[in-house]
Chain A
Amino acid sequence: MSMTENSKRDSVMNVSKGRTLKREIMGISLLHILLAGMSLLFMLPFLWMVLTSLKTLAEVGLPEWMPAAFQWKNYPEVFDVIPFAKFYWNSILIASWVTFLQVFTSSLAAFSFSRLNWPGRDKVFLMYLATMMLPGLVMMIPNYQIMISLGWVDSFVGLIVPASFSAFGTFMMRQFMMTIPTSLDEAAEIDGASKWQLYWDVILPLSKPGLITLTIFTFMGNYQSFFWPLVMLKSIDKYTLPVGLLFFDSTRGQTTHLLMAGVTMSVLPMVIVFIIMQKQMVKGIQLGAVKG
């Protein structure tokens, strides 16, 4: 009696299992098609960008997306039309310096905020946090006046130094360093390590994931930074990529195919960096915001 009932139930279960399996496959397939369709929406502008960059000037105005033949020579031509290589180099140089300095000062400050006990520490940290909420625009005009009085307008120093101190970087590194157990500090202290040794030999190597995330964010943010270079830079050979592209657009905007080649070349490094580093970045974004 119970046996037959059991087998009956089993067979019913199997049938329903088969049905749910089929339904599951259908659902997953639909989901994949939906997601791929959505991805297409996000990709289409980029596809148009690349295809247009491979057109001739005569083809630019045509509604067809596809060029008759790929004009790869557009890419070297960009470098002849505007000092594109210079823009690239300037952007990378400035972004590298800012990143190096910012990561360094941020990690030092974060070490102070997370590992050292000194009176008033948490109050100072709160002040740092509060400035993260300040609109940068409030400080722009005074900062520009400071740059004028220092003679830093139209120079790289004027772009690098003010950007090298970041409340956000300090905050992120502190959040990361707080997760490192304090027993390590005590062990280092017993071994007679100085504070600098504790920072350099113990904490810094352990915060590597945080450092990498901060490095990517800072570098990418400065590679794309627009407002400050736009205000500060006067001579064309000092332009960074965003300012240079704007200059390209306003002076030779009719040569859409070349402009798109320039845009493609400036977007490409970011795409590559993101695809390689996305695991660290996604984690960093989720950690930074959820805990903040």
Chain B
Amino acid sequence: MGIGNSLLDIGHSKNLGFEIMLSKKTSNTIAGIAFLSPNIIGFLCFTTIPLVFSMVLAFSNWDLTLHNMFHDEAIKFVGLKNFIRLFQERDFWKFLGNTLFLMMGAPFAIAGSLIAAILLNKDLKGKKSGVFKIILPGAILFISCVMLTLVGMGAAALTILIVGAVGMTLISGILFGQTVYRTLFYLPNFTSGVAVYILWKKLYSPQTGPVNAVLDKPVSVVGNIVNATPSWVLLAGEWLCLLIGLFIMMKVLKSLFNHWKEGDIGSCGLVLALFFVMLPAFFAILWAPTAAMKLAVPAIAVVLLVFHLATDLKTRDFPCTIWHGVGSGFMIAMISLIPMFMFIGFAAAIAHLADITRQTDFSVLPPPEWLASYDWAKPAIMIMGLWMAIGSNNMLLYLAGLSNVPPELEEAADIDGASPFQKFWHVTWPQLAPITFFIVVMTVIGGLQGGFEMARTMTQGGPFGSTTTLSYFIYNEGFATGRLGYSSAISWVLFIMVFSITMINWKFGSKYVND
């Protein structure tokens, strides 16, 4: 291409330009490489060489406990031994499960970011006269709070402080619009790091932490209610939750196959979406409270799937290519996962509460032990993650996306008499789809590699490895245990997972934008 251009130039400038052209090109090349050199030298030293080194390591048995100054064995290449050992190790699957479990908070976080962005994107200023009406009571509230704070400390002062903070937020929010709220939403994400993890560790402290101090009353009330309810009602409640979950699954399956029939989703997209939609059914095997439910829920789900496969696969109105609509199938699956997991979770929670109140003689239900308990450590980290992730970059991206939605489209929908929900679903959401796809891919990539800082600062990966993610596993093997070869092998497995997600993004990300 470059040569073709220069040849063309030579033709134009006849014999005169030949030397100049060549020298210009070489000088450009020299300058280009010179400008790049500081960066590319660092790039070679700290990225390329380590990458190759790491790949070699993954096939070696370099272990600091075997190869050190006291005990010098030769480092050998062991072929695929590290990988075989890894796949046979039960801990690896457990830690992979932990990583995926923690990632289940992500759909909630993304939905939260979207809701926050939609609220922030609304016209917050309104008409001036209206604004004044809100400022006045707000200001009065604030001044009274300040005065009360001056009067005394204690429990009342805290209420006053909180009310004052809200009042101040309100007033500045009214005066300056979305920036104020955006800043406050974004701060947890921006400051997230070791400092904030330590803060949350203290918040979660079972005896002295404020989380349990706040939860104490509601939890015991819930416990009493559960205690007082006859067990058949609880059982019915569990079934109801699971059936609602299955009902949602039915609806989603129907809509997926409809899309497939109409040629919106190709075979590959359908298979991918079905995989995700069926996931809760398999989780129900683990979580469902009774044996009957463990059997019934997956069975019903499989029956639903087989029914659709049997009836809908035969006829297809508008065929399309295999790869078409993978993105939209993925999105439908992701959206449906949120309520399905929620209802399975409700069922499990009801059963769990009933269990605790039945087993123990507590007149009051003890609040969870959070980071100190095997079952609650992961939810605790997920809740903290939600707190940090709602106002994250994702919210800012959604804000940018929302401001790019053409107002004519919304006006047209208004004229057609669309309800706010219809307007969102048919007008706004399709416009946000590419951004959502990007966010989901980035979140999955980040989630697979995540969890190290939290595990290191909050739980040390415990209790009993319940918060050890893959990244903490790699760190532990490499830097604590000293099995360098093995640790490299794990990191390459992680790399392959991340890489395949990236490939999906490259293959379908741009296509989905065009849909």
**Contact assessment for A143 and B202 in the assembled complex, using a CB-CB cutoff below 8 Å:** no
Q: Which of B157, B169, B173, B453 contacts A226 (CB 8 A)?
A: B453
Q: Which of B440-477 contact A (CB under 8 A)?
A: 442, 445, 448-449, 452-453, 456-457, 471, 474-475
- Whether A28 is near chain B, meaning CB under 8 Å from some CB there, is yes
**Contact assessment for A112 and B202 in the assembled complex, using a CB-CB cutoff below 8 Å:** no
Q: Which of B161-217 contact A (CB under 8 A)?
A: 161-162, 165-166, 169-170, 173-174, 179-188, 190-191, 193-196, 198-203, 207-208, 210, 213
Mask, B117-147, CB within 8 Å of A = 1, is 0011011111100110110000000000000
Contacts of A3 in B (CB 8 A): none
A82-B377 Cα distance, complex, nearest whole Å: 30
Q: Which of B35, B474, B495 contacts A134 (CB 8 A)?
A: B495
**Contact assessment for B42 and A165 in the assembled complex, using a CB-CB cutoff below 8 Å:** yes
Contacts of A249 in B (CB 8 A): 198, 201, 457
A256-B204 Cα distance, complex, nearest whole Å: 13
**Contact assessment for B195 and A263 in the assembled complex, using a CB-CB cutoff below 8 Å:** yes
**Contact assessment for A39 and B184 in the assembled complex, using a CB-CB cutoff below 8 Å:** yes
Instruction: Please give the number of chain B residues whose Cβ is less than 8 angstroms from any Cβ of chain A in the complex.
Output: 109
Contacts of B193 in A (CB 8 A): 224, 226, 242
A66-B153 Cα distance, complex, nearest whole Å: 7
- Whether A58 is near chain B, meaning CB under 8 Å from some CB there, is no
Asked if A32 meets B173 with Cβ closer than 8 Å, knowing A21-B130, A119-B2, the reply is yes
Q: Which of B15-65 contact A (CB under 8 A)?
A: 25, 28-29, 31-33, 35-36, 38-40, 42-43, 45-47, 49-51, 53-54, 57
Q: Which of A237-292 contact B (CB under 8 A)?
A: 241-243, 245-246, 249, 256, 259-260, 263, 266-267, 270-271, 274-275, 278, 282, 285-286, 289-290
Asked if A66 meets B155 with Cβ closer than 8 Å, knowing A33-B170, A137-B494, the reply is yes
Q: Which one of A41-49, A72-80, A206-214 contacts B?
A: A41-49
Instruction: Please give the number of chain A residues whose Cβ is less than 8 angstroms from any Cβ of chain B in the complex.
Output: 101
Asked if A275 meets B183 with Cβ closer than 8 Å, knowing A40-B162, A47-B161, A249-B198, the reply is yes
A167-B435 Cα distance, complex, nearest whole Å: 22
Q: Which of A28, A61, A133, A241 contacts B498 (CB 8 A)?
A: A133
**Contact assessment for A195 and B210 in the assembled complex, using a CB-CB cutoff below 8 Å:** no
A102 to chain B, nearest CB (A): 9
**Contact assessment for A143 and B50 in the assembled complex, using a CB-CB cutoff below 8 Å:** yes
- Whether A90 is near chain B, meaning CB under 8 Å from some CB there, is no
Contacts of A220 in B (CB 8 A): 190
Asked if A38 meets B116 with Cβ closer than 8 Å, knowing A267-B195, A286-B396, the reply is yes
Interface residues of B (CB under 8 A from A): 2, 25, 28-29, 31-33, 35-36, 38-40, 42-43, 45-47, 49-51, 53-54, 57, 116, 119-120, 122-127, 130-131, 133-134, 153-155, 157-158, 161-162, 165-166, 169-170, 173-174, 179-188, 190-191, 193-196, 198-203, 207-208, 210, 213, 387, 390-391, 393, 396-397, 399-401, 435, 438, 442, 445, 448-449, 452-453, 456-457, 471, 474-475, 478-479, 484, 487-488, 491-492, 494-495, 498-499, 502
Q: List 20 A-B pairs, Cβ < 8 Å.
A: A24-B127, A28-B125, A34-B119, A39-B184, A40-B169, A49-B199, A66-B154, A67-B153, A69-B153, A108-B36, A109-B36, A137-B449, A139-B46, A140-B491, A142-B57, A167-B43, A195-B35, A274-B187, A274-B191, A290-B400
15 other A-B residue contacts (CB within 8 Å) besides A137-B449, A195-B31: A24-B130, A31-B119, A35-B119, A38-B181, A40-B162, A42-B391, A47-B162, A64-B154, A69-B153, A109-B38, A128-B43, A135-B449, A226-B193, A259-B198, A286-B400
Interface residues of A (CB under 8 A from B): 21, 24-25, 28-29, 31-49, 51-52, 60-61, 63-69, 104-106, 108-109, 111-113, 116-119, 121, 124, 128, 131, 133-146, 161-162, 164-165, 167, 170, 195, 199, 220, 224, 226-227, 230-231, 241-243, 245-246, 249, 256, 259-260, 263, 266-267, 270-271, 274-275, 278, 282, 285-286, 289-290
